[in-house]
C-alpha cells in the first residue's frame, strides 16, 4: 500500500464519505492525522466511519447532508469558517449513477437528480468553500471523476455528461487558482469495488477489480502540501 502523507493539523472535508472510495479516503486521511469533516446522506455509514476513525486514534466531524440541499452547503461553509477559519483539503467524491438506459428513455427526474448532485452541488461547494481553501497555506482539492467523462459509453448518458461537466469545472477552478497556494486535481480511480460499480456492472466479478481501500491509498497522497501539479487527470 502507498505510504500515507503526514496530514497532521489539516482539516479535510470528504463528500460521499459513508461508503466506498469516500469512506476509505476519509478513514485514511484521519489515520494520516487530519481532522476529517465527513459529509453524506447516510447517517449509519457516517457512524461506522466514526467508529473506525476513533479506533485508529483519529478525529472526525460528521455532517449528515443531502447535497441537493444547496442552502445547507452554504450553511456548512459558514460553520466551517466560524469553527476552523480555513479548509486545507476538499475531496469531491459524492456522486450518483442514475439509470443505465438509452438516453431518449431516461426519465427527466433521474437526469435532473444526476446533474443536481454530480454538477450543481459540486459547483455550490466550490462557491462556498473557495475562500476557506484560499485561507489555507496549501489548499488541496481532489475531484473523483470517471473515464466516461472522455469516452462515449452507450446508455450512460446522464452520468457521462455530468462527469464531463464536472471535469470542466475542475479544470476551470485549477486555472483560476494556478497562481495561489491551492492545487486542484481530478482523478479517474478506474474500476473499483464499490456499490455504484456493482449497480453499473452487475455481472462483473468484484474480485477482479481494485478495492476502495487500495484506490484511496493512491489518492490520499494528493492531499500533501508537497503536491506541485495542477489540474492533473489520470
pLDDT band at 231 (very low <50, low <70, confident <90, very high): very low
pLDDT band at 207 (very low <50, low <70, confident <90, very high): low
Calculate mean pLDDT across residues 198-209.
Answer: 59
pLDDT at 202 over 70: no
Confirm if 73 and 121 have CB atoms less than 8 A apart: yes
pLDDT of residue 78: 98
131 Cβ partners below 8 Å, 6+ apart? 81
Calculate mean pLDDT across residues 71-98.
Answer: 97
Task: Tell me, rounded to whole angstroms, the distance of Cα 145 from its chain centroid.
Answer: 9
For residue 36, what is its C-alpha cell? 476529517
Calculate mean pLDDT across residues 92-100.
Answer: 93
Calculate mean pLDDT across residues 203-232.
Answer: 75
Calculate mean pLDDT across residues 19-37.
Answer: 97
Active-site residue list: 159
pLDDT of residue 199: 62
> 181-199 pLDDT, tens per residue?
999 999 998 656 566 655 6
- Which of 12-26, 132-146, 193-207, 211-225 has the least mean pLDDT? 193-207
* SS3 annotation, the chain: CCCCCCCCCCEEEEECCCCHHHHHHHHHHHHCCCEEEEEECCHHHHHHHHHHHHHCCCEEEEEECCCCCHHHHHHHHHHHHHHCCCCCEEEECCCCCCCCCCHHHCCHHHHHHHHHHHHHHHHHHHHHHHHHHHCCCCCEEEEECCHHHCCCCCCCHHHHHHHHHHHHHHHHHHHHCCCCCCEEEEECCCCEECHHHHHHCCCCCHHHCEEHHHHHHHHHHHHCCCCCCCCCCC
Amino acid at each position: 500500500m502507498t505510504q500515507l502523507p503526514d496530514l497532521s493539523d489539516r482539516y479535510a472535508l470528504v463528500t460521499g464519505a459513508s461508503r466506498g472510495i469516500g469512506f476509505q479516503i476519509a478513514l485514511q486521511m484521519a489515520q494520516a492525522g487530519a481532522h476529517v469533516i465527513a459529509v453524506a446522506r447516510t447517517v449509519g455509514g457516517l457512524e461506522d466511519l466514526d467508529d473506525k476513525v476513533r479506533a485508529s486514534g483519529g478525529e472526525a466531524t460528521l455532517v449528515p447532508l443531502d447535497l441537493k440541499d444547496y442552502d445547507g452547503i452554504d450553511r456548512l461553509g459558514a460553520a466551517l469558517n466560524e469553527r476552523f477559519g480555513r479548509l486545507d483539503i476538499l475531496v469531491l467524491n459524492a456522486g450518483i449513477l442514475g439509470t443505465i438506459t438509452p438516453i431518449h428513455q431516461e426519465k427527466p427526474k433521474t437526469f435532473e437528480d444526476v446533474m443536481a448532485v454530480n454538477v450543481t452541488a459540486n459547483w455550490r461547494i466550490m462557491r462556498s468553500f473557495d475562500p476557506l481553501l484560499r485561507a489555507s497555506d496549501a489548499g488541496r482539492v481532489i475531484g473523483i471523476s470517471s473515464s466516461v467523462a472522455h469516452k462515449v459509453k452507450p446508455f450512460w448518458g446522464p452520468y457521462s455528461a455530468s462527469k464531463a461537466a464536472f471535469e470542466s469545472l475542475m479544470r476551470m477552478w485549477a486555472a483560476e487558482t494556478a497562481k495561489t497556494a491551492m492545487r486542484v486535481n481530478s482523478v479517474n480511480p478506474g474500476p473499483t469495488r464499490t456499490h455504484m460499480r456493482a449497480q453499473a456492472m452487475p455481472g462483473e466479478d468484484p474480485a477482479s477489480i481494485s478495492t476502495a481501500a487500495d484506490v484511496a491509498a493512491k489518492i490520499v497522497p494528493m492531499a500533501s502540501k508537497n503536491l506541485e501539479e495542477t489540474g492533473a487527470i489520470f
